[in-house]
Amino acid sequence: MKKISGSDAIMQVLLNEGVQTIFGYPGGAIMPIYDALYDYSDKLNHILARHEQGAIHAAQGYSRVSGKVGVCFATSGPGATNLITGLADAQIDSTPLVCITGQVPSHLLGTDAFQESDVIGISMPVTKWNHQITNADEIPEIMSKAFYIAASGRPGPVLIDITKDAQFAKMKFTYKKCEKIRSYHPYPILNKDSIKKASDLINNSKKPLILVGQGVLLSNAEKELIQFSEKSGIPMASTLLGLSAISCNHKNYVGYLGMHGNYGPNIKTNEADLLIAIGMRFDDRVTGDTSRYGINAKIIHIEIDPSEINKIIKADVAVNADAKQALINLLPFINKNEYKNWINEFKKCDEIEFNKIIKKELNHKSKKIKMTEVIHLISEMTNGKSIIVTDVGQHQMIASRYYKFTKPKSNITSGGLGTMGFALPASMGAKLGQPKREVIAIIGDGGIQMTIQELATISQYNIGVKIIILNNNFLGMVRQWQELFFENRYSFTEMKNPDFPKIAEGYGIKNNKVENKSKLKKCIKELLDYKNAYLLEIVVEKEENVFPMVASGDSVSNIRLE
Amino acid sequence: MKKKGIYQFKSSKKESKEYTLSVLTENKAGLLNHLTIIFNRRKINIDSLNVSTTEIKGVSRFTIVVQANKEKIIKILNQINKLIDVLGAFLYEEGETYYQEIALYKLSTKIFLKGDNVEKIVRKNGAKILIIEEDHTIIQKTGTKLETQKLYNELEKFGSILEFVRSGRVAVSKSKRKTKNFIKELEKIKSNKLNIK
């Protein structure tokens, strides 16, 4: 058998795993891998980001829209440490990634060699699994484990650190996909008893509410969820990461949960007699004060990760299973039912929210543009069919509230970690993952400047993302909290910003800027109609607040409308 | 508690108690770091830690003793079980294990020559004399921390303990589970891929 180098073996692994796109950045310790990649450029599409953080967020965006494992390359030392934010983000938001980092030659490990850092030690708390390869013979087995672990069960990021000598060394390559690890059991055996108990609670409830989490999207259970909701008649509310799992137009969809979610699903959480949580983890941004959460409700928790069950909210019935598997098994036991009055109560809440907030936001007399009307317009003009990639802050919450998603895997945002700078690189990954779909990045003036260098990547590879900067010259969400909870003391939240269109111009990206409300629609239309990347700066009202709001640590019942 | 199960906690008692965790793992570098990160992140100090390879090739056992309340320790147990290279973690309260620690006491040999008091103490405590050298003698005692401490206190009265070391705890459970069978069963469980009918 002909021997190949460790680096060639890596390429072979990627092809065997069906990888098409890699996001990365070269450097000394990963040069043999990049050298091997040179011969595979017809089969593997490598996107050169402008910063490793950009590369990993792009890999996340790619994975989130396509359901595939995102792949990322970086060199040792600073290249690898620049991945950490993305790893932490992917870990908390359950995004499958395989990141390959170069490492100094094995004889230099632990010597403070040039660009050496303890990547395995540093990345341990923010990866699902990590491993250092110092011997080329290990490559096939470890890499196949990496892909299996990243994608199976509750997905997550895996980091493989490969010393430079192992990249050079010759080895005999044979590949077998990993199918089993004795210490790792990603798919719990479904307990039929728990299904029976859950169905009993469901069939006997008066005011049940389904809480839809990202687990539904990750297990591709959108169809099963609709069947379950339609048969049982139970209304559905979504977490931030669960958004787009069900169409916002579905008759049983009652809105978005959490701190800046809709009025109805938040206050009704404490009126419901049964909460059916599917693939969600009761994040504090959803629950508010847990001692005053679901106070009248029994809890059914359908969750693949056993460590999430009883972690925050004690489950009366725990169904430790994949969401799709659980829903398929649950469906035959569910009685056909309707909850017209109960769903009408949500509709009444929607009217209150509309009259107190939405109407004012969308029909104001000011010439200035409000963030809400931008999102509302985009939602209408795209029929809710686009992929919306958001950064972190006010614009993110407004996009989540006002964009009416109609297609799955369309809401790409940094939920758990709340990583500013996520959206721009994630949007380019999203566009490469779903080239036929419209990808719109909505970013604040703060967040865009954290990873603005990726405009160069977008330009170099002609990645046709539509970039909208909602510019209020403030770190808006922090400013809102300063206004509400820190007596208007605007400590370091005001920003003097660059001329964004000029920056786009410099990167060779088509651009425009709009300040006047009367020109807004025309400008958005121009952006949407353009075939390639486009950056539109929209100057919005300086001191807008996002409402409703559940103050941090307060009960969901005390959601504020103003 | 099985690796795949959900640990149901009946009460959410907040009072702190001593727990022994017995963790079977693949013999992989870095796992100790992984485990301590879980405790450290939750501000829990490890009272005693013992790591050793087991009778099964490639399998290691960590025995960890901590003070925590039940709610917290169960969440920690779940996090440990979630680690990819952990085969299974088991949680024991006081009384659910047999456990021992080993202590070594280095004394000046001279004090044995001043009458038989020290020797009586050693015998009374069930300790044994391991080595006698011209200038020092090593006493070995196995037992609980209380027992090894008691011997220490008694010897300390003679003012001549040159060195004292105590090991981490090793514990075996009172359950009937056989480690080898546990691993065999783990290998048989079909939870490696999703089977949707």
Is residue A505 flagged as an active site residue? no
Flag whether pLDDT at B71 surpasses 60: yes
* Mutual angle of helices B31-41 and B70-82, in 10-degree steps: 150
The answer to whether A306 contacts B26, with C-beta atoms less than 8 Å apart, is no
Could you report how far apart the first and last alpha carbons of chain B are, in Å? 28
Is A52 in the active site? yes
Which whole number is the average pLDDT over A161-177? 98
pLDDT over 80 at A325, yes or no:
yes
Per DSSP, helices labelled H in A6-82 are: 6-16, 31-38, 52-66, 78-81
Q: Is the confidence at residue B10, as pLDDT, over 60?
A: no
**Which residues, in sequence order, are bridge partners of residue A72?**
A23, A99
Q: How many CA atoms lie within 13 A of A81 on its CB side?
A: 7
- Mean pLDDT to the nearest integer, B186-196: 87
CA pair distance A319, B97, nearest whole angstrom = 31
**Mean pLDDT, residues B94-111:** 93
Residue B37 and residue A124: Cβ atoms within 8 Å? yes
Please tell me which residue in A68, A128, A145, A164 is annotated as part of the active site: A164
Is the pLDDT score of A149 beyond 50? yes
Please give the residue that has the higher pLDDT: either A209 or B1.
A209
Average pLDDT, chain B: 90
Contact (Cβ atoms closer than 8 angstroms) between residue A4 and residue A170: yes
Of A99, A92, A91, A140, nearest to A120 by C-alpha is A99
Question: What does the alpha-carbon distance between residue A6 and residue A169 come to, in Å, rounded to a whole number?
Answer: 6
Average pLDDT over residues A31-38: 98
Read off the DSSP letter of residue B186.
H
Tell me how far apart the 2 most distant CA atoms of chain A are, in Å: 76
- What are the helix (H) ranges across A270-422? 284-287, 323-330, 340-353, 359-362, 371-381, 394-402
Q: Is residue A450 pLDDT above 60, yes or no? A: yes
Contacts of A450 (CB under 8 A, 6+ apart): A420, A421
The mean pLDDT value for A187-198 works out to: 96
- Identify the band that residue B56 occupies on the pLDDT scale cut at 50, 70 and 90: very high
> How many angstroms separate the CA atoms of A201 and A197, rounded?
6
Strands (DSSP E) along A206-327, which ranges? Answer: 208-212, 236-238, 253-256, 274-278, 298-303, 317-320
Tokens of A496: 């003097």
* CB-based contact, A291 to chain B, within 8 Å: no
**What pLDDT band is residue B15 in, cutting at 50, 70 and 90?**
confident
CB within 8 Å: A125 and B37? yes
Question: At residue A395, does pLDDT exceed 70?
Answer: yes
Does B6 score more than 80 pLDDT? Answer: no
Closest CA to A556 of A212, A239, A270: A270
pLDDT tens across A215-263, in order?
999 999 999 999 999 999 999 999 999 999 999 999 999 999 999 999 9
Examine the pLDDT at B157 and tell me if it is beyond 90: no
Distances (CA, A) of A478 to A257, A381, A457, A481, A484: 21, 30, 30, 5, 10
Q: Which residue of A has its CA nearest to B36?
A: A125
Position A9 scores a pLDDT of 98
Partner A contacted by B192 (CB < 8 A): yes
Tell me the percentage of chain A whose pLDDT exceeds 70.
Answer: 100
The answer to whether residues B137 and B122 touch, using CB atoms and an 8 Å cutoff, is: no
The answer, yes or no, to whether residue B190 has pLDDT greater than 90, is no
A546 three-class SS: coil
Put simply, whether B165 touches A (Cβ < 8 Å) is no
Q: How crowded is residue A109: how many other Cβ atoms within 10 Å of its Cβ?
A: 14
Cβ pair B85:A183 closer than 8 A: yes
pLDDT tens profile A480-527: 999 999 999 999 999 999 999 999 999 999 999 999 999 999 999 999
Q: Which two tokens stand for residue A515?
A: 């300040």
- Name the packing angle between helices A423-433 and A52-66 (round to 10°): 50
Within A152-281, residue ranges assigned H as helices are 164-168, 192-203, 214-218, 222-232, 263-269
Q: What is the pLDDT of residue A55?
A: 98
Report the mean per-residue pLDDT for chain A: 97
Q: Indicate left, alpha or beta for A341 from its phi (over 0: left) and psi (-120 to 50: alpha).
A: alpha
Quote the CA–CA distance of A240 and A427 in Å, as a whole number: 17
pLDDT (tens digit, 9 = 90+) per residue, B131-155?
999 999 999 999 999 999 999 999 9
Put simply, the answer to whether A120 touches B30 (Cβ < 8 Å) is yes
pLDDT of B2 > 50? The answer is no
Amino acid B159: pLDDT: 77
Q: Is A483 a catalytic residue?
A: no
What is the predicted ipTM? 0.93
The larger pLDDT score, comparing residue A546 to residue B12, is at A546
Question: Cα-atom radius of gyration of chain A, to the nearest Å?
Answer: 24
Q: What are the tens digits of pLDDT across the range A408-441? A: 999 999 999 999 999 999 999 999 999 999 999 9
